[in-house]
Each structure stands twice: as C-alpha cells, then as structure tokens.
Structure 1
C-alpha cells in the first residue's frame, strides 16, 4: 500500500500544525492535503477506502519523504481502531508525537471547543462534562499502544515548549530522525492553528463571516464600531484558568501519567505543571 513515511500522530493543541507546515515547506518533503486526513481513526473517513488514502500521496515526487499529520490518532478512547487499521496495511511509518504541559494543553483544547460552539460552559464545568479534555493530555496513556505496536525507536517525542525555545534544533532533530539533513526553519510561516483570537463560531458562520460577498456588504453597511462590538461579544476576552481545586485534583493524575511516559522516553521532563502562561 502507498502511504506515509512519517505520521505526526498528535497530540492536539501541541504545535502539530506548525511543525507540519514547516515540514511541508522543505524541499524533498511532501505533506498531504488535507494535512490531517484522520483516515485510520475516523470511521466515516476510513469507509472511503484505501484508494482514497493512497490518492493523497499521488503527487509526491520520487524520493520525497511523505508526511501526514492527524491528531485524532492519539485520541483514546474516542478513536479506538486507529492502530489496528494502520498495522493491517503493512505500513511501518516513523512517528512524531508532540506534547506540552498537560494543563496548558487542556486549556487550549477547551478554548478550541468553545470557539467551535462544542463547549459552552465554564472550564471547570467542562472538565466534568468533557472527559476528553483530560484524556488527550494523558500522553503516557495515549502513546503506550503506539510503542507496543511499533516500538519506541519508531517514535520521536517532541515538546511544544522546546519548539518555541529552539525551533531550529527541533527541526534538526526531526531531520536526523527521518534522514533528511539541511532543513531550514522558516520564521515567516508563523504559528499555525493558534487560538489567540478565540472567536466563537456558530451555525452559518462561514456564510456570514467568511464569505467574501458578505464581508464586503458588512464592511460597507455596518459601522466599524458596531462590527467591533459584535466581535467582542463573540470573543473570549481572557485566557481561562483552572481553579486551584481543579489544579490540585489534576496534579497527581498528570504526575502519574508523566511517569508512564518516561518509561518509554526517559528524556521527558517538566511536563507536569503549567509553566507556560498565555500559550495557545
């Protein structure tokens, strides 16, 4: 089966889109469009068949390193069939798993779901209604089945924090991992998929706000002050923070999971408590 040489398997809100964009900008690296096909995880996409998936790589040139990046691949228990489906193809791609401070990740996940209208309640209440906010931050739990299926040597673990601090070194480590030297980090690409504006979407959002005709009419007919006021009502004004009680409850959960992660990747450190205020 035709497929990727490399898959960025997650985690969600940990810089995967930024890294994928950087890889896609390199000579000799082919990134699928969409970059996040979620083929092996999502039942409705998997039902399209292997020919659909193989077609995503049809424009790759001979010698290209082919890449896809699907964060759904590390979303247990939501997508339990991912690894079995990938193994059944006979493909053995290299894997990159990106992590960050788990509390910071779950806050960014909450912001993302709030902007999509999936979550409408407070952060603390969302932790009770949406267990996936915590589950997807349990990196040891999420990556262990991948280690068991493909081996730890097939997985490069990266942190969002180190990518912010020294992106050139991170890209060099990726190059060493995939056997492609001389890759260059492009600062002008910026950060991808950041949730800094935190603007709530709603049904018909694309038709009303993203449509060029609607944009022109809105700017022509609606005064800017009114437009700014409406935008402010849909915008998260400040980054939400976990209550002290929730933080205390989560600390031992994430500490135990960090130990599990270190069983596979001994270099991991500093991933238990949120030291990255304001990150998105």
Structure 2
C-alpha cells in the first residue's frame, strides 16, 4: 500500500516531462509506469479505482519513500483543479506537490505551436491570443486550489530556468522538500518531450494514431517511449508552415492580461517573477 505520493501538477509546457525523468533516477523515488496518469482529473481513470492507480508503480516499501507521477492536467483549469484536489483529499495518504513554471509568454508561445500542429488552434486564431492560452499561464490561479486544500507547505514551486541552468541544485531542492537522501543525477543536458513531439506530421504522431500500437504503448515504460519519441519526432518534408511569431502588440496584451495574476504569484507565493518578460520592473 503506497502511503506517500509526489505529484508534479504542472504547469503545461514548462518542463514537467524532463523533471519527471530526472527525478525517476533517485533510488528512493518510484516513478509511475506512465508519466501522466491523470487519475484524479480524468473521470474514466478515476472510476478504475485506487487499486488500479497504485498498480502503476513497482512499489517497494523497503526502498521507496515516495511514488512520483506528473499530470499537468491537474492544473489545466479551475474546474479540473477543484476536481483533482477534492479527489486527492479523499485518499488516505500523504501528498506533496511540485509546480514548475516558465516565462509565461514563452509558455503561451509554445502552446500556440502545439495547438497549431495538433489542429485545435486554427490559423485564424494566431492573430489573436485565445483566452484559454492566457488562462493557462495564470500560475497563481492554478495554485490556489492546492494551497487552500493542502496548505502552501505542501507545494514546491520551481522555475524552468533554474532546472535548465542549475539542474543539480534544483533537483537537490526537490530532494530536500521530499526529505530524500542527496543524489547525483545524470544526463541532465537531455531535454525530454521537445517541441516537435506534438506535431501531427511526424512519424511518431502517425504511429501513435494506430489503435493496436496505442494500446500496446500503455505497457511500455515511459523512459523507453520517450527515447523512441525523440527519434521519430522530426517533421517530414511536407511540414506545415511555421506558426506566425507573436507581435509586439500581442506581447503587450498578454503582459497586461497576466499582470494581476503575476502580482499575486509574487506577493502570495513568493515567486521571483522579474527574470520573465512581463513588461514592468521591480
């Protein structure tokens, strides 16, 4: 019976896959067999029962201190956050949460590329920044449900820039937060789930649409799937046109829309926001 979980709850497009794979190296951490379980936010998975959820780990109570998963869906919207926190609170176990952030404009731009190549963001929508992408970068709003339900002490807030430039120090901060032994992590120069992995015009995406292969993929550990994804995620010769870059007017609009949330992120959650392109200085 697993009694301690660590959930990487977001944010999307902010390095959750890399963080998950780095932490999976720690001998006291048991990684889930699939990175994104979505158990507490997806109704179909929730109905599979807690026993099914726990079966996603090869848990050894003599070795492991915490069970790790990473599901950015847990902070996708206010409704999914409320649903996820309510369900998590119903489980008789200890939970800690990790939330990683990046420059919100970079995050929104990354989401624009993903949406364009996956088809849920139409070319006409690249002229205006859809409200749902603005909401996806409202970090304080995403954190509120967890802070209210479990307390701020249960949350570790990280910045992607620190993970990229000071990875050992960043991961040691996680170890301290989880009360784990220090560990020397390896292969930290590798970026997991790079931009092209979500394009529709790559061999990886085409293979992933085959039902039989999709079912079989659930049985393959994420570390092997991630390696294969990297190899097969280069776009073909008939790639789509590139997504138009954000204009200065769009950047200013995003900055203004995010300002109240960023102010709360700094004041209520203590996040240093001034390394980001947010349009005003300290």
Using the size of structure 1 for normalisation, the TM-score is 0.80
- CA offsets per residue over residues 190-209 of structure 1, 9 Å max, x none? 11111057743499811799
- CA offsets per residue over residues 24-48 of structure 1, 9 Å max, x none? 1122211001111000011122121
* Cα drift, residue 270 of structure 1: 2.3
1:231 maps onto 2:233 in alignment: no
Secondary structure at 1:40 match in 2: coil
Of 60-69 and 16-25, the range deviating more from structure 2: 60-69
2:37 and 2:70 in contact (8 A); partners too: yes
1:254 and 1:272 in contact (8 A); partners too: no
Secondary structure at 1:97 match in 2: strand
Aligned residues: 254
Gap change, CA 1:133 and 1:60, over 3 Å in 2: farther
Match of residue 52 from structure 2? 52
Match of residue 228 from structure 2? none
Output the CA distance in 2 between the equivalents of 1:236 and 1:146: 40
* Cα drift, residue 271 of structure 1: 5.7
Greater Rg, structure 1 or structure 2? 1
Output the CA distance in 1 between the equivalents of 2:175 and 2:49: 31
1:104 and 1:274 in contact (8 A); partners too: no
* Cα drift, residue 236 of structure 1: 5.4
1:269 maps onto 2:270 in alignment: no
User: Where in structure 2 are there 5+ consecutive unaligned residues?
Assistant: 214-234
Output the CA distance in 1 between the equivalents of 2:147 and 2:158: 15
Secondary structure at 1:90 match in 2: coil
Gap change, CA 1:92 and 1:240, over 3 Å in 2: farther
- Selected match of 1:91 from 93, 109, 114: 93
Gap change, CA 1:120 and 1:89, over 3 Å in 2: same
Match of residue 254 from structure 2? 250
Gap change, CA 1:201 and 1:164, over 3 Å in 2: same
Gap change, CA 1:83 and 1:236, over 3 Å in 2: farther
- CA offsets per residue over residues 145-199 of structure 1, 9 Å max, x none? 1111111111110000111111111011011111113222312661111105774
1:198 and 1:236 in contact (8 A); partners too: no
Match of residue 226 from structure 1? none
Correspondences of 1:1-280 after superposition (within 5 Å)? 2=2, 4-64=4-64, 65-77=66-78, 79=80, 80-121=82-123, 124-125=126-127, 127-128=129-130, 131-187=131-187, 190-196=190-196, 199-201=199-201, 205-206=206-207, 231-235=236-240, 237=242, 240-270=244-274, 272-273=276-277
Using the size of structure 2 for normalisation, the TM-score is 0.80
1:171 and 1:184 in contact (8 A); partners too: no
Gap change, CA 1:3 and 1:42, over 3 Å in 2: farther
Output the CA distance in 1 between the equivalents of 2:55 and 2:38: 14
Secondary structure at 2:169 match in 1: helix
Output the CA distance in 2 between the equivalents of 1:85 and 1:38: 12
Gap change, CA 1:91 and 1:197, over 3 Å in 2: closer
Output the CA distance in 1 between the equivalents of 2:154 and 2:115: 31
